Amino acid sequence: MSSSAPWKQLLLNSINSNSHLKHSTYFQLATVGSNGRPSNRTVVFRGFQDGTDKIQINTDSRSCKIEDLKHCPFAEVCWYFTETWEQFRIHGRVDLIDASNSDPDKLEQREAAWFAGSVRSRLQYLGPTPGLPSLDEQPSHDSLDSSAGPVDVFCLLLLDPEQVDYLNLKSNERLAFTTARSVNGENFWTQNKVNP
Amino acid sequence: MSSSAPWKQLLLNSINSNSHLKHSTYFQLATVGSNGRPSNRTVVFRGFQDGTDKIQINTDSRSCKIEDLKHCPFAEVCWYFTETWEQFRIHGRVDLIDASNSDPDKLEQREAAWFAGSVRSRLQYLGPTPGLPSLDEQPSHDSLDSSAGPVDVFCLLLLDPEQVDYLNLKSNERLAFTTARSVNGENFWTQNKVNP
């Protein structure tokens, strides 16, 4: 039984070694649209879900990635660390936790994610629909009750990794991590050195 | 007639403002695999094709992205500039130019792309198949005749942008650029300010 995925410590080391850089928590998330074409955008790493290997991302339920994920629930993170020249490609299924979720545990996680963000970061969810034409005069939302719970459009994404590809451009080493299900139904990880 | 796309100068400015950072020419390229799932990896910007808005990328024809692009020729670049806090999402169709191409002009472009790279960068194409299990003892290829033309597995990708989404995280401004075809069959670009 492996309680932790073998790539997780590698990733935590990279996060730590690059933590002096603001952009070190930014990665690119690729999804597939209902037209079958890829989309790609920068999002912010919001930590792992407690006690799991699942990656947390906050988003606006009005953004296009939600429509993409409802069509195809798989996504691939590409996370390049500019200080240590390391890349993690993390492929997995994404669970959408929005206001309409019926699971009380998941709604609690969503609320925790909301309060984990700064009040300033919460303000963006009060703005007009992302990607729609911008009107010249937008009402400004520069105040928000810091004790108020998540607004309706706030959505927590949980990416559950199935495959991780690690590349170190300094050592030119590449590792492929793959998950599989054992006979007793538990997931376990295998690790292989592959050509860069 | 617009000889240049309106987003191109914005992108050239960003490239210039961030050029002191080695990673400023790196971006993430998303594709869709034959299983319908997204893939995402870091690649290097190799400039625009002469006289066009097409983005050049060099790759190994044995890499998975080639199979992806043969299945679905559309890709989306996500290019985040860490110094100026700007993001470009560039969506378009990708033309694969490999050794088997029958167009002499394209083969000439491929050859030019090969020689534009350093001798060191050309060496990687002599290595074993990317992504396959690594054998302990790989033959090293630390010499290459600098006048030798492209090896068989060298492939030039040309991404022809159809849509560009620009986001500036400092000013919180976002612009959507879309191409359309005019009545006389020429492509032209429209530009709209959209909500971030």
The CATH number that applies at residue B72 is: 2.30.110.10
In this prediction, residue B4 carries a pLDDT of 75
Across the interface, whether the CB atoms of A30 and B89 are under 8 A apart is answered no
In this prediction, residue B143 carries a pLDDT of 79
Q: Is residue A58 part of a domain?
A: yes
pLDDT in tens, A129-182: 999 999 876 666 667 899 999 999 999 999 999 999 999 999 999 999 999 888
A57: CB partners within 8 A, 6+ apart: A29, A43, A44, A45, A46, A156, A157, A159
Whether the pLDDT of residue B99 is over 70: the answer is yes
Segment A60-65 long-range contacts (CB within 8 Å, at least 24 positions apart): A60/A124, A60/A125, A60/A130, A60/A153, A60/A154, A60/A155, A61/A98, A61/A99, A61/A152, A61/A153, A61/A154, A61/A155, A62/A129, A62/A130, A62/A153, A63/A130, A63/A131, A64/A33, A64/A39, A64/A131, A65/A29, A65/A31, A65/A39, A65/A41
Q: Is residue A106 part of a domain?
A: yes
pLDDT in tens, B150-174: 999 999 999 999 999 999 999 999 9
Stretch A74-99: mean pLDDT = 98
The Cβ of residue A45 has, within 10 Å, a number of other Cβ atoms equal to: 16
pLDDT in tens, A24-80: 999 999 999 999 999 999 999 999 999 999 999 999 999 999 999 999 999 999 999
Across the interface, whether the CB atoms of A28 and B76 are under 8 A apart is answered no
In this prediction, residue A187 carries a pLDDT of 84
Distance from CA of B82 to the nearest CA of A (A): 6
Stretch B24-31: mean pLDDT = 98
**Confidence tier at B3 by pLDDT (50, 70, 90):** low
Using alpha carbons only, give the angle B121, B122, B124 rounded to the nearest 5 degrees. Answer: 80
For chain A, how many structural domains are there in total? Answer: 1
Q: Is residue A89 part of a domain?
A: yes
Whether the pLDDT of residue B121 is over 70: the answer is yes
The domain of B89 spans 6-107+153-194
Cα–Cα distances in angstroms (integers) from residue A173 to residues A68, A176, A193, in the given order: 33, 10, 8
Q: Is residue A34 part of a domain?
A: yes
In this prediction, residue B1 carries a pLDDT of 41
Stretch B23-34: mean pLDDT = 98
Q: Is residue A67 part of a domain?
A: yes
CA–CA separation, A44 vs A104, rounded Å? 25
Q: Is residue A108 part of a domain?
A: yes
In this prediction, residue B2 carries a pLDDT of 47
Report helix, strand or coil for B77. Answer: strand
Report helix, strand or coil for A110. Answer: helix
Q: Is residue A170 part of a domain?
A: yes
Across the interface, whether the CB atoms of A133 and B193 are under 8 A apart is answered yes
Across the interface, whether the CB atoms of B194 and A21 are under 8 A apart is answered no
In this prediction, residue A1 carries a pLDDT of 41
Across the interface, whether the CB atoms of B134 and A194 are under 8 A apart is answered yes
CA–CA separation, B97 vs B109, rounded Å? 9
Asked if the interface predicted TM-score (ipTM) of this complex is over 0.90, the answer is: yes
Whether the pLDDT of residue B181 is over 50: the answer is yes
In this prediction, residue A141 carries a pLDDT of 64
Whether the pLDDT of residue B32 is over 50: the answer is yes
What residues of A are in contact with residue B71 (Cβ under 8 Å)?
A: none
In this prediction, residue A155 carries a pLDDT of 98
Q: Is residue B115 part of a domain?
A: no
Lowest mean pLDDT among A59-68, B8-17, B135-144: B135-144
Whether the pLDDT of residue A4 is over 90: the answer is no
**Confidence tier at B89 by pLDDT (50, 70, 90):** very high
Nearest by CB to A40, which of B28, B72, B194? B28
Distance from CA of B130 to the nearest CA of A (A): 5
